[in-house]
Amino acid sequence: MKIVLSPAKSLDFETKLPTTRGTQPQYLDTAIKINRKMSRMTKDEVAKLMDISDKLADLNYGRYKDFQEEHTKENSRPAMYAFNGDVYTGLDAFSMPVEKLDVLQDKLRILSGLYGVLKPLDLIQPYRLEMGTNVGLYSKKNLYEIWQKKVTDSLNKEMEKNDLFINLASNEYFKAVDTKKLKANVITPVFKDFSNGKLKIVSFFAKKARGAMVRYIIDKNVESFEEMKGFDYEGYKFSENETKNNAELVFTR
């Protein structure tokens, strides 16, 4: 089984880590090249490219300048503890039993605009670079062109044909995976809430549910399609009526 998640814009480099473990990102050499390009930009160019405020541009301009090419436990932290958005609230990595870390390290992959694809314990430094950002390298015009083959090849190397592949990433990030060349059939869980009398996807809740689904899979040692249907965290239940095909399992509350 492989699970893919998006990263988060919000970061936490302060909370005490529950483990001293840390691994090196597979494509750190490419991340270094991307960061070098970003670090040569002015603050105004960063703001325009990323469509962010002057304050955020200043923060991230500083991050590009401060980036250390050698990732150590002193200047970096594991990705699963560094990302701090809604998805990672649902995952609640800091409460993950340490004996579960090997399983999580094996199953979960985090897609990243800077690093391409990360294992949970891969060391990262503070950054913000969304996958949709129009920055390229050499003949590659944008991050999708830089990463799609690398990410897809990496995932395929870790899977057997017809392995369970769970997509819990956003559309922006999942476009970095070439699904036509992926060994596995993709299953994308969908989370819907009753709002104003209608069932709909509410972004905030859906993001948190994606992280909670990862946590459920690890907590319950889920290995099969049928076991996934038992997901009941955050009050969600599998909906037979809303699920129209096996590629999109719908959970409602």
192 is written with which tokens?
């819907």
Can you give the pLDDT at residue 222?
A: 96
Q: Is the pLDDT of residue 196 over 90?
A: no
* Residue-wise pLDDT tens digits, 31-82: 999 999 999 999 999 999 999 999 999 999 999 999 999 999 999 999 999 9
Can you give the pLDDT at residue 250?
A: 98
* Residue-wise pLDDT tens digits, 72-116: 999 999 999 999 999 999 999 999 999 999 999 999 999 999 999
Q: Give Cα separations from 72 to 79, 167, 175, 235 (angstroms).
A: 13, 30, 30, 39
* Residue-wise pLDDT tens digits, 122-160: 999 999 999 999 999 999 999 999 999 999 999 999 998
Q: Which domain holds residue 178?
A: 2-252
Can you give the pLDDT at residue 211?
A: 98
Percent over 70 (pLDDT), the chain: 100
What's the CA angle centered on 8, arms 175 and 50, to 5 degrees? 70
Can you give the pLDDT at residue 161?
A: 86
pLDDT category, 170, cuts 50, 70, 90?
Answer: very high
Can you give the pLDDT at residue 245?
A: 92
Mean pLDDT for all residues in the chain: 96
Place of tokens 């592949």: 165
Total count of domains within the chain:
1
Can you give the pLDDT at residue 162?
A: 83
Can you give the pLDDT at residue 197?
A: 87
Can you give the pLDDT at residue 231?
A: 98
Can you give the pLDDT at residue 179?
A: 95
Q: Are 145 and 134 in contact (CB under 8 A)?
A: no
- Measuring CA to CA, which residue among 131, 132, 157, 20 is closest to residue 76? 20
pTM of the model: 0.96
